[in-house]
Amino acid sequence: MEFTEWIRGRTDEQLRALVSARPELITPVPAHLEGLASRAASPSAIGRVLDRLDRFTLAVVETLAVREEPISKDALRDLVGRALASDDSARQKPAEGRDPEPALSTALDRLRDLALVYGPDDALELGPGVRKVLDDPAGLGPRAADAFRHHAPEQLDEMADDVAPGTPGSGKERLAAALARPAALVESVSPEARAALDQLVWGPPTGRVPNARREVRVASARSPIEELLARGLLAATGEESVTLPREVGLFLRGGRVHRDLLAVPPPLTGATRDTSLADRTAAGQAFSFVRAVEELCERWSVEPPGVLRTGGLGVRDLKRTAGELDLPEWVTALVVEVAHAAGLIAAGGGVDGEWLPTSGYDLWRVRPTADRWTTLAATWLHMDRVPGLVGERDDRDRPLNALHTDLRRSSAPGVRAAALGVLAAAPGLAPDRDSVLERLAWEQPRRRGPLREQLVDFTLREAEQVGVTGLGALSGHGRALVEGGDAAEALAPLLPEPVDHVLLQADLTAVAPGPLTSELNRWMTLTADVESKGGATVYRFSESSIRRALDAGHGGEELVAMLARHSATPVPQALSYLVTDVARRHGRIRVGTASAYIRCDDPALLDQITADRRSAALRLRRLAPTVIASRSSRAALVDSLRAMGYAPVAESLDGDVIISQLESRRTEGVAPARAVASPNGLDPEVAAAAVRALRAGDAAHLARREPVDAPGGQVPRGPATATISALQEAIKQGVRVWIGYLDSQGNATSRILEPARMEGGYLTAYDETRAAVHRFALHRITGVAGL
């Protein structure tokens, strides 16, 4: 059966399953099913779908690839059964006669759905192009006819005379026939030569030897390698490279294509966790991660770090931020990268550039905590940046900085999803790293490498920090995130309720008995310094922290009132005195521009300043009983007086107090759009529309229909809303319609269409008046009429 005819004979449901699992086949939609079959056989498309196969299903493909002719399912079952591992816990049977069912039937069904295998059970065949894409399937080398294709005919004749004397045919044919039954040749070599063959049996089938193309006969062979080269058991593929012919490899494997094959995924091992405890632990981590992002944005809105000339965040800025957030540097890098990928921070601030929060941060900050976490966690899951690489060095031995473009890895989202998928398969289990890697190696055997293992390590570590996992086990809200459910709804009941009060103590500290509301947290951070974090946050009030609040425009009485309103205990007398005293002294001294001046209604206080030896460097000069001038700038004068123990405030040219609250700066930035595919890989409606277009195009292709004439008379016209509704109904019913269409010159034309899908302002349909599939701009369709 031809592959194209097999594709054409698939049902619509089977074709929808094919394009859903392999969406690259309809990007764009082929004109007919013959084009779909051709695209399915292209090397790039085959390579992509092979990367998605698990180890057992890939082994079935490789077993079929080893055979040139079609094979029955019973024969395939026997070959695969021989390869099953004897220690397979799922089947405690002896090695001989092992039955790989039902895994084999499931694998064949999937391979048919993916169009990698076609044909009935008594004549299974690989799809065209699959053998070419598979390099050394199952670790077996090329067939003898291909392995010796570059050898000189004279050399092949001599080798054939040695291994198959008196047989008819060319040297190449005689040698290939002898190697098809290599038992006698293998038995005739020395134990040392046999040991060399054993090293290549299970792959890779290639090796390096000096002067591989040397001409040697069986009688003149002196070394083990020469014994093998003379008998054709090794074929020279280059000046210093040899390969093991496939026929020899299969013989040495005893007829098995694979060794120790597992029909089921390897079991996960690790510690068992109580699911409720894991969920609560993950929820606590999720809350802490959200607060860390919020604190980062608040700090950077006041003191933004600069953007490096080469892009990214400087090492010193990262260390400083880690100290301010009280987090390890790798966690800080994770917080920074996720905030950036979510569009909460971006580069801005002018020529040199600074890392600033975006306007999107203000919208994110006012949302419920569960929704905020879902945004951050989904961003982490789908972003192509790898925060774990921060601090490592690139190929040029340069350090990789946070927020640098070199942190992008296209494979990162797939690895995160695959690793979390492994955790989702073991509810209540915290699998260890090795078992996760082993399971991933079985699920995606073609995706291997040191970077992949490193990405898995980063994923497991970061998932715990973000709050997707708790105690190493996937949480309930983490599972909802991975499977596309409502993660915020699952997380919300587990989050601690924000409190709107603190406990004021006599030692000038305040204890927050839980997470504070966003506004109270901002106010407490302004008025007091964080002394310790943990189950309860401890804030300490001091003269400098109170002055910071006064500088921001709050009055002394206002501060005392706020403390009384948000404290579950009475305001301690010591704290009330501290606020009153600082407020009384705050602003008594005014600093302006002379370069700068000091103004005070109390001449005695100015006498005290001028008599202070620490003021000598300020070069103060008394202009009036209540005014002193200075050459220092206003900012330097304010800082110097504060260092001397006074509490001045800055004054504008008009004599108004300058509120010195640090400005919260913002920059423009939009969170990057994430295209999240459906679990089947393609939206069902798109798949159905594509199949309808393929069927219509294929019918036209087979019938070779000539273009038909559109009905006579006035072209259809109508309102745009009615036109859209009519087209949607035609797509749903699968019927033809008559439309009016304006061409690029504005001329009205008449078309008969079989609509397939409508998206992005365009209609894709089979045009019977042109006998081809076309896309039509919706705004050019003047109207629709039925036929």
pLDDT top residue among 703 and 738: 738
Buried-exposed string 55-90: b where 16+ CB fall within 10 A, e elsewhere: bbbbbbbbbbbbbeebbeeeebbbbbbbbbbeebee
What pLDDT does residue 86 have? Answer: 54
For the segment 259-269, the average pLDDT, to the nearest whole number, is 89
Per-residue confidence band for 255, with pLDDT thresholds at 50, 70 and 90: confident
Greatest alpha-carbon span in the chain: 128
Q: Could you tell me the two tokens for 728? A: 């949607």
| Highest mean pLDDT out of 42-51, 147-156, 253-262 | 42-51
Angle at alpha carbon of residue 724, lines to 722 and 730, rounded to 5°: 100
- Band of pLDDT at residue 654, cut at 50, 70 and 90: low
Structure tokens at 565: 């309103």
- Cis preceding-peptide flag for 28 (omega within 30 of 0): yes
Mean pLDDT lowest for which of 110-114, 449-453, 591-595? 591-595
Options 1.10.150.120, 2.60.40.1730, 2.30.30.100, 3.40.50.10420; CATH for 705-786 is: 2.30.30.100
Model confidence at 97, pLDDT cuts 50, 70, 90, reads very low
Calculate ∠ Cα 413-417-422, nearest 5°.
150
What rounded mean pLDDT belongs to the chain? Answer: 85
Among the listed ranges 10-24, 33-47, 333-347, 557-571, which one has the minimum average pLDDT value? 557-571
pLDDT per position as a tens digit, 721-750: 888 888 888 888 888 888 888 887 778 888
Residue 93 pLDDT level (bands cut at 50, 70, 90): very low
Mean pLDDT confidence for 391-408 = 85
Give the pLDDT confidence score for residue 755 in this predicted structure.
86
Whether the predicted pLDDT of 785 surpasses 50: yes
DSSP state of 702: H
pLDDT higher than 50, residue 321: yes
- Please tell me the predicted confidence (pLDDT) of residue 155: 86
Percent of the chain at pLDDT exceeding 70: 92
Percentage of the chain with pLDDT > 90?
26
Is pTM beyond 0.95? Reply is no
Reported as type and span, the H/E element at residue 4 is helix 3-8
Provide the residue ranges of all domains of the chain, joining segments of one domain with +.
Answer: 3-136, 144-252, 270-494, 503-568, 590-650, 705-786
DSSP per-residue letters across 597-659: EEE-S-HHHHHHHHH-GGGGGGT-EEEETTEEEESS-HHHHHHHHHHTT---EEB-TTSPBPP
- Distance between CA atoms of residues 666 and 676, nearest Å: 29
Query: What confidence tens digit (pLDDT) does each residue in 160-177 have?
Result: 888 888 788 888 888 888
Token pair of 76 as six digits: 């395939």
